[in-house]
Chains A and B, each alone.
Chain A
Amino acid sequence: MAKSFMRRLKEKLMVTAGPPIGAVLLRILYATLRVRTIDKERLEAYKREGKQYIMAFWHGSLLVMVFAYVGSRLTFLVSWHRDGELVTRVMKYFGINPTRGSTTRGGMKALRMLLKKAKQGYDIAFTPDGPRGPLREAQVGVVQTARLSGLPIVPFAVAARKKKRLLPGMSS
């Protein structure tokens, strides 16, 4: 019983203290990086013209994507499992608005919520291979969201010379 209490305390600590610390560490790390961009101009034009879009990227780029977004309001579809709670909290520190749900499980409800956010002027961040994979295999959810919202899908990717892979079987 004492053990389960300790474990619960540890989990609680992870969820409350983890995200702000994680967000600060991520910012410090980012400040050290040498970053170049390819074809960013199109999205800068979108921003000037107030044009919304869906930013699509593989699940593995999520941590870096928060620095790459061009625009002023972004929502991200986050799944309901416990990792999702952590992701949600970290993203809030980067001004990213979470939408909870999944287009694979209970799809329609999540889709409707995303469309509502799109109507409110949000851009949408989408991992076409997430959250349950298979990794780097696009699923139809992002296409449905694009069709119903009328927003273009803009693929995004990140490469780093030296990196640590957090997910198995990823090439970058």
Chain B
Amino acid sequence: MIPFPFTRVVFSYGEPIVVPRDASDAKMETTYTELVQKGLEETQRKAREGLEDESLWKA
């Protein structure tokens, strides 16, 4: 996407996800890929909510 000029934009940085060196292939495909999916969805949700969170936009 590309923002329109002069509009509000929120950058949201999520919780780090660490993948242990001994993680199995199966766990990488499921558990950790899902953690990335959830992490991105959560971070996206926070960014979207930030647009209307007026405490963020004071000053």
Contacts and interface: CB of A to CB of B under 8 A. Distances in A.
Interface residues on A, range: 35 or more
A156 B14 contact: yes
Interface in A19-77: 29, 32-40, 42-43, 53, 56-58, 60-61, 63-64, 68, 70
A167 to B, nearest CB: 8
A35 B9 contact: yes
A67 B48 CA distance: 18
B12 A39 contact: yes
A38 B4 contact: no
Contacts of A16: none
A138 B12 contact: no
A172 B10 CA distance: 11
A161 interface: yes
A36 B10 contact: yes
B36 A159 contact: no
A164 B3 CA distance: 6
Interface stretch (A97-105, A115-123, A147-155): A147-155
Contacts of A33: 3, 5-9
A153 B11 contact: no
B13 to A, nearest CB: 5
Contacts of B18: 146, 152-153
Interface in A122-141: 128, 136-140
Contacts of B47: 38, 157-159, 172
Contacts of B57: 34, 36
A3 interface: no
A56 to B, nearest CB: 6
Contacts of A142: 36
15 contacts: A29-B2, A32-B5, A33-B7, A34-B6, A35-B10, A36-B10, A37-B12, A39-B46, A64-B11, A152-B18, A153-B17, A159-B12, A159-B47, A162-B4, A163-B2
